[in-house]
Structure 1
Amino acid sequence: MANSQCHIAHFLTRLVQLKQGCPAIISGNRRRTGGEFVDGVLGLARGLLELGLLFRGEVVVIAALNSDWYLEWILAVTYVGGIIAPLNYRWSIEEARSALEVLKPVILVVDEFCSSWVVQLTNSSSIKSLRLHALIGCNTLSNVSKNANSLSMDSIRKPSQGTQFIDPIYAINGIALICFTSGTTGQPRGVAISHKALVIQSLAKITIVGYAEDDVYLHTAPLCHIGGISSCIAMIMAGGCHVFIPKFGAKLASAAFEQNHVTSLITVPAMLADLISFARKSNRWNGETVNKILNGGGSLSTELVKGAIDLFPNAKIISAYGMTEACSSLTFMLIFDPSSQKLRKSPSCSEILESNSLQLYVGVCVGKPPPHIELKICCDPTISSSPMVGSILTRGLHVMIGYWDQLTKTSNCDKSCWLNTGDIGWLDSHGNLWLVGRTKDRIKSGGENIYPEEVEAVLCQHIGVAGAVVVGIPDTRLTEKIVACVSIEEDWIWVNESARNSLEANLLSSEIMQNFCRHRKLTGFKIPKVYMPWRKPFPLTTTGKLRREDVKKEVMSYLQLLNSSL
């Protein structure tokens, strides 16, 4: 592989040069300069090579909470031509075993939190590729992981040689990482991502979000997800300081803001909601040092944006839309700019929409792609009657190499290297992407296509609605019937029509919601006829994405129980 190729380890020299005498890494009680951290990476890389533990193109699986040691493993493995595959620490042992059977790794790396995996996975007859397992961190291995094929991180690492760099090695096809999708439906899939994709995504974040060497970046997202990894690599390239907490918690994050003067972080809506709730109950809160927030994993409601501005008055808030297969963010949109003290308004629909057919598919504006990303809409009359609404496709150096278990087969890209995102949307005349919904979530009712995200956006405009999820359930006449699950605000009450008292305020009912949808000009066939009050949090993945299928199953059980009681 030519030396001109991109490699994420190329930027370690910048970390050494910029972070002399000041911390580049803060993780618990450990504070390390750039040189000290890079010495650790190089020592681990030399150990993997000299001990013959890892060869070019082999896979190393890691399951752990966030730490500086976790980042060392990511960089050291890829430095010597290995492929790192982070697993979600929240997975069941069955999910982890399934991933290992696909990946065929030679090394399993765990921390104390995931150390129980070792016995259960290394004793599996279906995983024959494992030669070694190692424990993240210092000191000795825990009792559950002591055996002849175990090594501590310190026993692998070779002593420092004064930050002497060796030429990074490339895995086959330039793959750096196998990152698993969130698995909102079905099993998570291992996505093979190249060094080049990680570098170009990082450059986009540096340019658009504005990461710089004076940033203090709090790792709120887990390093097993593409959002956390790509922002981490961007911060290494920028030369900023990394602050690690094991996993996100509002109390831990608040302490980090105060102790380390954090300037940047990434969030999903659920994280922001937790931070807002914690801040309102806490007597101590200091978010004034934060000057940039990148939100992913779903759009922010007006209430969340206002709450975030109150918490972080000096922060530029940017929202991103993306996916693992595209190495994180495909588009960016500025939500709030503190320099103007004004919310950034989405483009006006009345200014953009010209045809009646498009007005049925307004969707949610998710901003514009950075320069390296190409988007196009592939229209299909089975998806939409509009000539401008269709499948969102993308191509460029950011696109995955393919799914790990299908690299020798056709990936999710067509012959022109276009990746079908699985989302439905349209591009306006200003280059903004409007997201209408997911192909797999589309509801077919009475011969019409309905995208639940559009209906949910209307329902959530009601002041008494805290959240809404719309699903389609089987129906003999319509094919699918639209059901809306509605979570209501604290001071509001859901009532049956027969129990409704017109003199009472703050009431919600099926009739009220139907009339509200009509008032908001939602097309008749899209208005839910059935409403189900939802009295608990909606099920989410670890990245904050909705598990719509779980909601659908619960709705069907609820309606079956309701019908049987009648």
Structure 2
Amino acid sequence: MYLTQSLHRAVRQSPDVPFTVFGARTLTSRQTYDAVARLAGGLLGLGVRKDDRVGLLSLNTDRFCQVTLATAWADAAIVPLNTRWSAAEHAYALTDAGTAVLFVDDPFLPMVPELRAKVPGLRTVVHCGEAPTPDGLVPLADLLAAEPVDDVHRQGDEMAGIFYTGGTTGVPKGVMLSHRQLHITALGTLLHTKLPRGGTSVLAAPAFHLAGFAFWIVGMLADMTTVPVALFDPVGILRTVQEHRAKQTLLVPAMIQAVVSHPEAGNYDLSSLELLAYGASPISETLLTRARAAFPSAKFLQVYGMTELSPSTTLLLDADHDDPVLRRSVGQAAPYALVRIVDEKGNEVPPGTVGEIVAKGDHVMLGYWNKPEETAAAVRDGWMHTGDVGTMDERGYVYVVDRLKDMIVSGGENVYSTEVENVVAKHPAVAQVAVIGLPDDRWGERVHAVVTLAPGATLTVEELQAFCRQEIAGYKCPRSLEVVAQFPMSGAGKILKRELRAAAARS
């Protein structure tokens, strides 16, 4: 299996059916095939060769889809960048991946000078938006005018892309995933959940995230027309579902909350939606009830996993959502996965016992790019150690209890506390810092900073946010701040974050 395979099938079986619809631009399978073949020719003309990495900094658009397919067509690997990152974060990933060619969408053009200054190996920037192309950048039209080339059919265990995730050491890690791994999860999900075929799939979750990227693959395999949504907006989602009679979409719970809570939600016909998939966190009973009322024809599917698992390893099916106990779980192992709960020594524990969630199967990543030691620590004897603490019942339903790595999930985005702490600690008013996640009605969790101050110093949350935005994305910046006289400490001199969370819960 390989990324471009669905396009080959579509152009033979349904050449005049829309492959993508983005705004006023509709491209059939035949037109997309031609565009991808020409973009691949253009990439070769830019010097891209086998196994090179091609960066992509773009919102959800049809061009995102075409560039990704063209990169594989040209025998290279895609590196999708988080559109919410700062220029410094992009520069790190581009340098780490050794990226020489970068595609940039309109909103990110102001970053280009800084990226060029910070990434010496970046030789070509291609503008893939609609605005006038600035001097020094290559317009996408130049690549689309290139002679089309044959697909090399990059496939199997060859790397499809490097997908960067937040790092517990303060820097992102590049997760290497193959064509086979991405399709194992997509095909397994299609088989196990009996997802709809044909019609329209709304790509609402960011495609740079593997959840959105994988959902796009599922839609292609199911012969669906992809309708990318560039920026999340509740009314935009409602309108898109109604106008395109969409059959499926994927949203994180924070997105679902925003959609069903919008005062105009009841004004749209959402009866076409047959599947609403979600991930990042379980859904509350109240939100589930409201979402089912808003999308009366949709089946609900919760997907649990991580980028390193391509990205899913358990599935909570629609029928499971009817059970008040099971809907607190993240489901059972997907058909392609083995899932266990293990102790500190890697031994499987009895049902109901708390331990670390580990997974094994053909969906486990190739490894972390340029990080063999971290790869070896994460994947042991073929088992991916997720860093999540949970339990499993007698029927194999998995319940996530906590996170070993102190990861915060805010609005569907993974935020690592260590990364935020490294930035907050640089503020001259801060003597010591600990960052934790606190429950939040809107975001699921919010980033909360607890600090002790330098003598005579003062600090407001607004001042801290402005400081942090210079180095990290806005969603990683603390949304709340607490100043304490001292931290609860362990005997080893470590801050006891569990006590900080408990104190916040009592207040």
The equivalences for 1:87-236 within 5 A come to: 87-124=81-118, 127-137=119-129, 140-141=132-133, 143=134, 146-147=135-136, 150-158=137-145, 165-169=150-154, 174-182=158-166, 186-236=170-220
Are 2:45 and 1:19 equivalent residues in the alignment?
A: no
C-alpha contact (below 8 Å) 2:341/2:348 kept by paired residues: no
Structure 1: tracts of 5 or more residues without a match = 1-5, 338-342, 349-362, 443-451, 454-480, 490-546, 561-566
Evaluate the alpha carbon distance shift between residue 107 and residue 385 of structure 1 in structure 2; reply closer, same or farther with a 3 A threshold.
Answer: closer
Q: Report the counterpart of residue 430 of structure 1 in structure 2.
A: 395
Q: Report the counterpart of residue 304 of structure 2 in structure 1.
A: 321
Residue 128 (structure 1) shift: 2.2
3-state secondary structure, aligned to 1:239: coil
Q: Report the counterpart of residue 315 of structure 2 in structure 1.
A: 332
Match of 1:118, as an amino acid? Answer: V
Evaluate the alpha carbon distance shift between residue 43 and residue 186 of structure 1 in structure 2; reply closer, same or farther with a 3 A threshold.
Answer: same
C-alpha contact (below 8 Å) 2:204/2:249 kept by paired residues: yes
Q: Report the counterpart of residue 29 of structure 1 in structure 2.
A: 24
Residue 123 (structure 1) shift: 2.2
C-alpha contact (below 8 Å) 2:342/2:349 kept by paired residues: no
Q: Report the counterpart of residue 83 of structure 1 in structure 2.
A: 77
Match of 1:344, as an amino acid? Answer: D
Q: Distance in 1 between matches of 2:6 and 2:438?
A: 48
Match of residue 339, structure 2, among 356, 365, 375 = 375
Evaluate the alpha carbon distance shift between residue 327 and residue 384 of structure 1 in structure 2; reply closer, same or farther with a 3 A threshold.
Answer: closer
Evaluate the alpha carbon distance shift between residue 412 and residue 207 of structure 1 in structure 2; reply closer, same or farther with a 3 A threshold.
Answer: farther
Match of 1:202, as an amino acid? Answer: A
Aligned length: 434
Are 2:405 and 1:440 equivalent residues in the alignment?
A: yes
Match of residue 294, structure 2, among 284, 308, 311 = 311
3-state secondary structure, aligned to 1:129: coil
Match of 2:36, as an amino acid? Answer: V
Q: Distance in 2 between matches of 1:425 and 1:294?
A: 22
Instruction: State TM-score, norm by structure 1.
Output: 0.69
Q: Distance in 2 between matches of 1:548 and 1:345?
A: 34
Match of 2:368, as an amino acid? Answer: Y
3-state secondary structure, aligned to 2:313: strand
Q: Distance in 2 between matches of 1:233 and 1:382?
A: 33
User: C-alpha deviations, 1:144-182, integer Å up to 9, x for none?
Assistant: xx12xx321121124676xx85332369x6111111225
Q: Report the counterpart of residue 448 of structure 2 in structure 1.
A: none
Q: Report the counterpart of residue 413 of structure 2 in structure 1.
A: none
The equivalences for 1:442-457 within 5 A come to: none
Evaluate the alpha carbon distance shift between residue 384 and residue 304 of structure 1 in structure 2; reply closer, same or farther with a 3 A threshold.
Answer: same
Residue 284 (structure 1) shift: 2.3
Evaluate the alpha carbon distance shift between residue 487 and residue 70 of structure 1 in structure 2; reply closer, same or farther with a 3 A threshold.
Answer: closer
Q: Distance in 2 between matches of 1:382 and 1:556?
A: 39
Evaluate the alpha carbon distance shift between residue 549 and residue 121 of structure 1 in structure 2; reply closer, same or farther with a 3 A threshold.
Answer: closer
Are 2:343 and 1:399 equivalent residues in the alignment?
A: no
Residue 209 (structure 1) shift: 3.7
Residue 77 (structure 1) shift: 0.5
Q: Distance in 2 between matches of 1:559 and 1:384?
A: 39
Q: Distance in 1 between matches of 2:234 and 2:222?
A: 26
Residue 374 (structure 1) shift: 1.1
Residue 249 (structure 1) shift: 0.8
C-alpha contact (below 8 Å) 1:293/1:316 kept by paired residues: yes
Evaluate the alpha carbon distance shift between residue 97 and residue 558 of structure 1 in structure 2; reply closer, same or farther with a 3 A threshold.
Answer: farther
Q: Distance in 2 between matches of 1:33 and 1:385?
A: 52
Evaluate the alpha carbon distance shift between residue 194 and residue 303 of structure 1 in structure 2; reply closer, same or farther with a 3 A threshold.
Answer: same
C-alpha contact (below 8 Å) 2:80/2:163 kept by paired residues: yes
Residue 101 (structure 1) shift: 2.1
User: C-alpha deviations, 1:400-438, integer Å up to 9, x for none?
Assistant: 111112148743444411110001122222121122211
3-state secondary structure, aligned to 2:206: coil
C-alpha contact (below 8 Å) 2:202/2:249 kept by paired residues: yes
User: C-alpha deviations, 1:447-474, integer Å up to 9, x for none?
Assistant: xxxxx99xxxxxxxxxxxxxxxxxxxxx
C-alpha contact (below 8 Å) 2:75/2:152 kept by paired residues: no
Match of 1:434, as an amino acid? Answer: Y
Are 2:494 and 1:554 equivalent residues in the alignment?
A: no
Alpha-carbon RMSD across the aligned residues, in angstroms, is 3.6
Residue 107 (structure 1) shift: 0.3
Q: Distance in 1 between matches of 2:348 and 2:178?
A: 34
C-alpha contact (below 8 Å) 1:55/1:81 kept by paired residues: yes
Q: Report the counterpart of residue 53 of structure 2 in structure 1.
A: 59
User: C-alpha deviations, 1:200-227, integer Å up to 9, x for none?
Assistant: 0110221234334323111111111000
Evaluate the alpha carbon distance shift between residue 288 and residue 414 of structure 1 in structure 2; reply closer, same or farther with a 3 A threshold.
Answer: closer
3-state secondary structure, aligned to 1:44: helix
Evaluate the alpha carbon distance shift between residue 267 and residue 182 of structure 1 in structure 2; reply closer, same or farther with a 3 A threshold.
Answer: farther
Are 2:1 and 1:9 equivalent residues in the alignment?
A: no
User: C-alpha deviations, 1:8-51, integer Å up to 9, x for none?
Assistant: 222222222343333221101011211111221111112222x1
Match of 1:30, as an amino acid? Answer: R
3-state secondary structure, aligned to 2:376: coil
Evaluate the alpha carbon distance shift between residue 258 and residue 184 of structure 1 in structure 2; reply closer, same or farther with a 3 A threshold.
Answer: farther
Q: Distance in 2 between matches of 1:212 and 1:191?
A: 30
Are 2:230 and 1:265 equivalent residues in the alignment?
A: no
Are 2:34 and 1:39 equivalent residues in the alignment?
A: yes
Q: Report the counterpart of residue 285 of structure 2 in structure 1.
A: 302
The equivalences for 1:484-495 within 5 A come to: none
3-state secondary structure, aligned to 1:62: strand
Match of 1:430, as an amino acid? Answer: R
C-alpha contact (below 8 Å) 1:138/1:152 kept by paired residues: no
3-state secondary structure, aligned to 1:123: helix
C-alpha contact (below 8 Å) 1:135/1:153 kept by paired residues: yes
Q: Distance in 2 between matches of 1:229 and 1:484?
A: 26
Residue 330 (structure 1) shift: 1.1
Residue 554 (structure 1) shift: 2.4
Q: Distance in 2 between matches of 1:239 and 1:29?
A: 21
C-alpha contact (below 8 Å) 1:56/1:170 kept by paired residues: no
